[in-house]
Amino acid sequence: MTDLDTNSWQGIKSEVMRRISDRRWQPGDLIPGEVELAEEFGCARATVNRALRDLAESGLLDRKRKAGTRVALNPVRKATVEIPVIRKDVEARGKTYSFDVLDRKGLAPSAVLQQQYGLAADTPLLGLWTLHRADTKPFAYEERWINLSVVPKIVDADLATLSANEWLVRNMPLSRGEFTFSAGNATAAESHLLGCPQDAAVFVANRSTWVVDDAITAVRLVYGPGYSMKTVV
């Protein structure tokens, strides 16, 4: 970190997030105290406090008076919007969940992705196309890319057994997300996969997540006719 970084709470926040992302600090770990971090970074304790407080408000840290600060065990549960796990959604409906990875390949970011997510032209991406099922029937079709410069370990994960959706929720902390929900019409390919008529009304969810300033993943989910979503605030 530069001198400028270590004298700004945003820089301290960024460094703490990197240590969590790199698993240097694991979920549940007690991290160094404010005084120790201030000495390490050469900044005021108040600067460290501001950074840690911001991360605690986002749900990535768990701060308790006299007990110190820990990396949250389940940060997604404290986030403003929970990243849904499709398996849990299916099982909550009393159905059996399964999925198939239809295709998987390395990608280079398109010009649109470079501009939208601030990716370099040589950023390695993993593309995944997945069909999620409920009681063997199509439930949702997923198109996803993952930033391998941020999540390199996912390359070795068994994504045929644990979906990328669930693997990322379990293993990758996030600092913010962007969500878009809309109605759409099934394309020919989507109607074939979801078992519905072409141009049928479908529910479309687009989601992207970030760790500090680095995009983690972007996903487009298409749910068949009749799908409904429930949120709890």
Asked which of 77, 101, 135 is the last residue of a domain, the reply is: 77
Q: Which among 171, 213, 175 is positioned nearest to 58, based on CA atoms?
A: 175
What SS3 state is found at 22? coil
175 plus 112 within the same structural domain: yes
Worst-scoring range by mean pLDDT, 98-112, 140-154, 191-205, 219-233?
219-233
The number of distinct structural domains making up the chain is 2
**CB neighbours of residue 182 within 10 Å:** 9
68 plus 89 within the same structural domain: no
Quote the tokens at residue 54: 């911001």
Asked which of 28, 43, 77 is the last residue of a domain, the reply is: 77
Query: Does pLDDT of 64 surpass 90?
Result: no
104 plus 169 within the same structural domain: yes
Q: Which among 153, 147, 161 is positioned nearest to 216, based on CA atoms?
A: 147
Query: Does pLDDT of 210 surpass 80?
Result: yes
Q: What is the pLDDT of residue 5?
A: 58
Residue type, 159: L
102 plus 72 within the same structural domain: no
165 plus 91 within the same structural domain: yes
Asked which of 77, 111, 129 is the last residue of a domain, the reply is: 77
Q: What is the pLDDT of residue 77?
A: 44
Q: What percent of the chain has pLDDT over 90?
A: 65
Instruction: Tell me the CATH number at 219.
Output: 3.40.1410.10
Confirm whether pTM is higher than 0.85. Answer: no
Q: Which among 163, 140, 102 is positioned nearest to 222, based on CA atoms?
A: 140
